[in-house]
Amino acid sequence: MNRREFKKKLAAAAALSPWLWNIQLDQMQHEIIYPNPISKGDTIGLIAPSGFISDERLNRAIANVLDLGYKYKHSAELLNRTTGYLAGSDQDRIKEIHDMLNDPEVAAIWCIRGGYGLTRIIDKLDYNLIKAKQKIILGYSDITALHIAVFQNTGLVCYHGPVASSTIKNYSKACIENIFRDPTKLSAITNPFSLKKRNSLYEYQIINPGHAEGQLIGGNLSIVNSLIGTKYQPDFSNKIVFLEDVDERPYRIDRILTQLIDATNFKECNAIILGVFEGCIPKPEESSFSLHEVILEKFKDFTIPIVYGYSFGHTENCCILPVGMNVIFDSATGTVISSSDKN
């Protein structure tokens, strides 16, 4: 089916679901583009588009950038613009993003932390500017909203991976260096959790075996869920969906997954990769299902490849998953590679 025929079929459905029509049109307008690579010694722009930043977080972010062999730049007012739980007003944070994009010295953008705040501003960003500058945008947690909004509005691939204030161990360091050097490749993405670590939350588990190919979409589960009903709601059809969360008790994960499955076309995805759900355990005194019982129950009718415990999210040894990249996933080996590398 060519593009014109597809539009005609969507138009026929528009009277029944104009909201779906708008989403589908918005998500089919952009070709996939990759950001520019960066070299050692280039300057990385450190931004705080969500939660407030402490001295400790900023210093840790700076140390990580320097250790990787890059220079850094951040807003001079960064530590003085805290507004409640936000790293400044909405306008402050919008301006910071636009300033880093416009700055010719800044080769890539690395978010210092997540928290909350991006859903307040993603509708006010200059996506023409983002597309024109084609800079790497790296981060996770609340940064999920930025990744999805940027990709849907521009086609620019974004990178779900460690925030700049993370503890960067060798595995994550290799992933970051590979993406900075070549944003089109995924040469370091293998799952490191071969050893049982602490408890079952860190074990790589194959729920449904298999391999699948598709476009990566996802990030933090709570943030993805918060986009339901907005124009940034992802289209999950034929996608490889990756999800993780932190400090949500099992009944909350149950509630979020129930809404995601019932309110979207989530069931049409090609595979599901679940990260480490750090701290997602019941309180000792409460009657509860375990996290794994919730996951098995919610996905019991799915026949696609599904794994739990992949190396991303709020955990050590965090890999980078590019939102928008076409990839191949193999549950047996726990590998994700770009489709262009399959031969």
For each of the chain's 343 residues, which pLDDT tens digit applies?
A: 444 444 444 444 444 444 443 444 444 567 999 999 999 999 999 999 999 999 999 999 999 999 999 999 999 999 999 999 999 999 999 999 999 999 999 999 999 999 999 999 999 999 999 999 999 999 999 999 999 999 999 999 999 999 999 999 888 999 999 999 999 988 556 655 544 455 677 788 999 999 999 999 999 999 999 999 999 999 999 999 999 999 899 999 999 999 999 999 999 999 999 998 988 888 888 888 999 999 999 999 999 999 998 988 888 888 999 999 999 999 998 889 888 776 5
Homologous superfamily (CATH) for 200-341: LD-carboxypeptidase A C-terminal domain-like (3.50.30.60)
Six-digit token pair at 85? 């739980």
CA separation for the pair 230, 14 (Å, rounded): 17
Angle at alpha carbon of residue 173, lines to 203 and 56, rounded to 5°: 95
Helix axes 18-27, 143-154, angle to 10 degrees: 80
- Provide the residue ranges of all domains of the chain, joining segments of one domain with +: 43-181, 200-341
Other C-beta atoms lying within 10 Å of the C-beta of residue 315: 24
Q: Which of the residues 74, 165, 244, 331 is marked catalytic? A: 244
What is the model's pLDDT at position 22? 45
- In the annotation, is 293 catalytic? no
- Give the CATH number of domain 43-181; options: 3.40.190.10, 3.40.190.100, 3.40.50.10740, 3.40.50.10800: 3.40.50.10740
244 a catalytic residue: yes
In the residue annotation, 74 being an active-site residue is answered as no
Per residue in 257-267, is it b (16+ CB within 10 Å) or e — as a string? beebbeebebe
Q: Which of 75, 226, 314, 331 is catalytic?
A: 314
Cβ 114 vs Cβ 143: under 8 Å = yes
Exactly one of 141, 172, 311, 331 is catalytic; which is it? Answer: 141
Structure tokens at 3: 């593009």
Sign of CA dihedral 57, 58, 59, 61: positive
118 phi, psi to nearest 5 deg: -75, -35
Query: pLDDT value at position 281?
Result: 86
In the beta sheet, which residues pair with residue 205? 308
Name which of 333, 326, 338, 281 is nearest 307 in CA terms. Answer: 333
Record the pTM.
0.89
The residue ranges of DSSP E strands in 195-312, in sequence order, are 205-208, 211-220, 239-244, 271-275, 306-310
Position 334, amino acid: G
